[in-house]
Amino acid sequence: MSDEHAIRRAVAASLRRQLGQSSSRPIIDETDVNAVPEGSTLPVPPDALVTPLARTAALMRRVTLTEAARPAPAPGTQLVVALGADHGGYPLKEAIKADLQSHYTVVDCGAHSTDSVDYPDFALAVAEMVANGRAWRGIMIDGAGIGSCMVANKVPGVRAALCYDNATAVNSREHNDANVLTLGAGLIGTALAKQIVEVWLKTAFGGGRHAKRVDKIIAVEKKYRA
């Protein structure tokens, strides 16, 4: 075994230990990036770890790291929806959860009462579940929905949309492929909120001309993440 290969294995093992991941999780390092032609595309397997040096090398060599699509769930498998709220959104969360549970697997990220809490903690929990693939979609509720939307959109891979009627719910999915929905419990009633959730979850991404624009959103994120 060459010294270079031994160093790569040691770095990979150290990275796995730091991140608490299984040794079977794939790692993309700078050697993988340097192995493809400059200006080309490097597919990244689902759940792969991309090292900081790999991202730097990709930036320097204009290599686009494209994350492979996750496999579609098996027929009959319930999709997972991550659901969260702060104290102001807690009652609406509970009402929405009761409806969702008959059609989806719901992961309740809290809060679990009306005791005062900080919405960023719960918005982050919902967004991270979507970003790492543990949830298909995420829904977060606070007083106005604005702060939670800001938090969720800081998480790479998340496109959060604040929706306040059926039209914005359709637009956010069809045009923007939003994967996190935020709602303002102080701005809309329970009946409307339930309609928005149903429409948002059932509306497919339109693709076509919209796909090019979503790709540009992703490119902006990757530029600053790198």
| Catalytic option among 5, 87, 175, 210 | 175
Task: Tally Cβ neighbours within 10 Å of residue 14.
Answer: 10
Residue 21 covered by a domain: yes
Give the pLDDT score at 43.
83
Residue 44 CB coordination number (10 Å): 19
Same domain, 86 and 160: yes
Q: Which two tokens stand for residue 118?
A: 């900080």
Query: What's the domain range around 15?
Result: 3-71
How many domains does one find in the chain?
Answer: 2
Q: Check whether residue 137 and residue 195 sit in a common domain.
A: yes
Do 182 and 86 fall into the same domain? yes
CA of 152: how far to CAs of 121, 147, 222, in Å?
10, 9, 16
Is 114 part of a structural domain of the chain? yes
Q: Is residue 215 part of a domain?
A: no
Does any domain span residue 211? Answer: no
**Digit-coded pLDDT (tens) for 133-157:** 999 999 999 999 999 999 999 999 9
pLDDT of residue 170: 95
84 and 189, same domain (yes or no): yes
- What CATH number does the domain containing 169 carry? 3.40.1400.10
> Looking at the structure, do residues 42 and 97 belong to the same domain, yes or no?
no
Looking at 28, 43, 71, the residue that finishes a domain is 71
Task: Give how far Cα 171 sits from Cα of 5, 21, 122, 130, 160, Å.
Answer: 49, 37, 25, 20, 12
Q: What does 55-119 look like in DSSP terms, one character per residue?
A: HHHHHHTT-EEEEPPPPPPPTTPPPEEEEEE-TTTHHHHHHHHHHHTTTSEEEE-S--SSS---H
In a domain, residue 219? The reply is: no
pLDDT of the chain, 226 residues: tens digit per residue: 455 555 555 555 555 554 444 445 578 888 888 999 998 888 877 666 677 677 778 778 888 877 655 555 555 568 999 999 999 999 999 999 999 999 999 999 999 999 999 999 999 999 999 999 999 999 999 999 999 999 999 999 999 999 999 999 999 999 999 999 999 999 999 999 999 999 999 999 999 889 999 999 999 998 887 6
- pLDDT score, position 196: 98
151 in the same domain as 63: no
With 0.85 as the threshold, say if the pTM is over it.
Answer: no
pLDDT of amino acid 53: 77
- Does the active-site annotation cover 175? yes
For residue 210, is it within any domain?
no
